A and B are shown apart, each in its own frame.
Chain A
Amino acid sequence: DQQVKQNSPSLSVQEGRISILNCDYTNSMFDYFLWYKKYPAEGPTFLISISSIKDKNEDGRFTVFLNKSAKHLSLHIVPSQPGDSAVYFCAASAEAGFGNEKLTFGTGTRLTIIP
């Protein structure tokens, strides 16, 4: 049972345009959501997070939107740059904070930025 789903295994976007990565979840107990970026031969790197009490969080070129009623979140990257080419994982937690960040990950979306 995949509790966090990323239905697009891959996405190609022209450099300078907006990249939109989507994620759906099924577990209503999830209250904290994160996006990670992963390059080959490296561990995932934290990008941005959002608490369930918010519907938007922005950090530079990265914005995460949360729609709790739809159990859907998305990551917007604008403008997209070649260095953004990587696999992006959506993750969720029902126990965030206090050093207990146990995560459930989506299957990942491979983003390719076309120069």
Chain B
Amino acid sequence: DAGVTQSPTHLIKTRGQQVTLRCSPKSGHDTVSWYQQALGQGPQFIFQYYEEEERQRGNFPDRFSGHQFPNYSSELNVNALLLGDSALYLCASRSSRLAGHEQFFGPGTRLTVL
């Protein structure tokens, strides 16, 4: 049973560019959340997708957008990249049908903006 997978592992972009990160949830999971973890900090919630719609959003600008596909996989898009967007981006999945609140995390995508 594959866990949460993310691609790519690492990414280097320059300021002003756009980036797309991808996430496949754990088998049986239908809800995907994205988190940004800057160096030396705890993860910060970006947004959550369920039934192909954004359900919750953290305190992030509109440059951050996402999408969820019918197979529950998800993308995180960041436009007009800033140096401060350099971080580890984590994807987490859960099942809406289970009572527990546990979320499973992927290994993350390390984004470096130069």
A and B form one complex = no
Interface, chain A (partner B; CB < 8 A): none
Q: Give B contacts to A, CB under 8 Å.
A: none
